[in-house]
Amino acid sequence: MRATALGTHIGAPVRMSFGRARSLPVSCTWQRGTARIRLHEFFREAPESVWDDLGAWLRSGRRARAACRRLDTFIADAIRALPQKAHRKERMAPAGAVHDLTALAAPLWGDWFAADFVDRARPTLTWGARRKSRARRSLQLGCFVPSSRVVRIHPVLDHKTVPAWFVSFVLYHEILHAALPDATHHGPPFRERERRHPDYARTRQWETIHLPSWIARARRGTY
């Protein structure tokens, strides 16, 4: 019945289906003179006035200004009323094929961060997902996520050609983000502590030499 009414609005046959896509709650494509309309499930309970506005939008587009405003308001309110999506829990994988992050971090906690995590939890360590990268000129070898307090290391480093001391320094760099209040920036306090590490200079040099090959492997997805 609703499809027939919409067809009357736009003067063409309508095939209608429903889904749960929040990012695109309304879509319309044309195929051989038939309008294929896909709507979010919340349209099933929409009042007749909303269907009238939907028909006006399908017929006239944004020229139907009043109808579009009402339709936008209905969609925004309906999306806000939907249950919040449950966030998928990330699987932590600190043990790689070559390097174990837990083992590499063990001396760091005592030697470098003994006073930083006395009254707060240490960050969780994990290797990142092994997927193809689009990187061309640079590659983020590690990151610290403040909201989840997770240190994630790029899997391109979990390779027999990458020495343990290099991975250990990348871990040190990312844990340092978690240790300092200004965790997301490389300010003077961060740089000062980073340079204390004895592997600072050779790590920078080694990264410069090998970065192109890491980018190539990451783009191929050959981990």
Domains, the chain, in order of start with CATH, read 2-81 (no CATH), 101-220 (3.30.2010.10)
| Segments in 22-92 forming alpha helices (H) | 48-60, 65-81
More confident position, 29 or 102: 102
**pLDDT tops 60 at residue 204:** yes
* Antiparallel, parallel or unpaired: β 142-145 and 150-153: antiparallel
Summarize pLDDT for 104-128 with one digit per residue, the tens. 999 999 999 999 999 889 999 999 9
DSSP notation for 152-176: EE-GGGSSTTS-HHHHHHHHHHHHH
**Which of 138-147, 165-174, 207-216 shows the lowest mean pLDDT across its residues?**
138-147
- The span from the CA of 45 to the CA of 68, in Å, is 19
Return the pLDDT at 179: 92
Residue whose C-alpha is closest to residue 2's, from 63, 33, 46: 46
User: CA dihedral defined by 5, 44, 22, 92, rounded to 10 degrees?
Assistant: -150
More confident position, 72 or 163: 163
∠ CA(208), CA(212), CA(218), 5° rounding? 125
Structure tokens at 146: 């403040």
